[in-house]
């Protein structure tokens, strides 16, 4: 299987790339961090599968298209595309920063759109293939001190819900991945307790297993993600009162 993973140089994306290579697949990992990509290639050298590195910024539309064209030329049209590139910068209303909101939306949301534009026509024409969009349980409801991040991940979830029926009719399988807290360089910056924190190798295995089963939504760890999902059914008055308590403790 040929796999393209964005945000493949660190964290969850890197571990998913490594596990797929260990399983014998051809993995095309893209990211902005060229040194980290090079170290991934070296780490996976000698595995049953192979890693091909592509320096790419998902906010650069032309560069994304060039990368996808290079992947097709080098190894072929991917069977699975995992759109994992993303970022987060904590925010709060007392230091409201429009540029931070725009940056996070450009990377987390528009970065996915920029990749879907060249990928979807090819998969639809072939009438096969999988696309996995990595969102977050933070997209289930708006959480205090994470407005920009939650908004971007919520947008990804509803995007996938909207596109899935159309793509299914066209023969393409679309999935949304909603992780809880996973130990990565991104979550290492968090200064608050992270319940049910998963190690990255276990999280990657859960993601790969969920995609293999063909589920539309892949979530992990189950106990935490379903607890957060439950908040979607709480009346707003109850949820917002609970959320204010989080602000008070911050």
Instruction: Record the tokens describing residue 191, joined without a space.
Output: 């200064």
Instruction: Record the tokens describing residue 61, joined without a space.
Output: 């539309």
* Cβ-contact 79, 127 below 8 angstroms: no
Would you list the DSSP string of 13-54? HHHHHHHHHHTT-EEEEEES-HHHHHHHHHHHTTSSSEEEEE
| Strand order from edge to edge, sheet including 173-179 | 50-55, 26-31, 2-6, 80-83, 130-134, 173-179, 217-220
Q: Is 12 helix (H, G, I), strand (E, B) or coil?
A: helix
Alpha helices in the chain (DSSP H): 11-22, 34-44, 61-74, 98-105, 111-126, 147-169, 200-212, 222-230, 236-249
Q: Find, among 61, 68, 104, the residue nearest to 86 by Cα.
A: 104
Q: Is 101 a catalytic residue?
A: no
Instruction: Record the tokens describing residue 210, joined without a space.
Output: 């969920």
- The set of catalytic residues is 149
């Amino acid at each position: 299987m040929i796999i393209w993973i964005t945000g493949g140089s660190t964290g969850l994306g890197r571990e998913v790339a490594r596990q797929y290579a260990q399983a014998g697949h051809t993995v095309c990992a893209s990211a902005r961090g060229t040194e980290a990509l090079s170290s991934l290639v070296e780490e996976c050298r000698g595995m049953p599968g192979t890693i091909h590195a592509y320096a790419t910024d998902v906010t650069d539309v032309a560069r994304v298209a060039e990368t996808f064209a290079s992947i097709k030329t080098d190894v072929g049209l991917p069977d699975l595309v995992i759109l994992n590139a993303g970022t987060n910068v904590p925010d709060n209303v007392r230091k409201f920063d429009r540029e931070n909101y725009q940056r996070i939306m450009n990377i987390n949301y528009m970065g996915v759109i920029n990749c879907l534009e060249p990928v979807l026509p090819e998969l639809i024409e072939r009438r096969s293939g999988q696309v996995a969009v990595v969102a977050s349980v933070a997209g289930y409801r708006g959480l205090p001190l994470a407005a920009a991040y939650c908004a971007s991940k919520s947008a990804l979830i509803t995007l996938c819900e909207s596109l899935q029926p159309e793509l299914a009719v066209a023969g393409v399988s679309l999935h949304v991945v909603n992780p809880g807290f996973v130990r990565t360089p991104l979550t290492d910056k968090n200064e608050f307790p992270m319940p049910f924190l998963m190690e990255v190798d276990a999280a990657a295995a859960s993601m790969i297993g969920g995609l293999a089963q063909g589920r539309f939504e892949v979530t992990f760890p189950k106990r935490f993600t379903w607890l957060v999902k439950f908040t979607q059914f709480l009346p707003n008055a109850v949820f917002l009162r609970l959320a204010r308590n989080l602000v008070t403790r911050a």
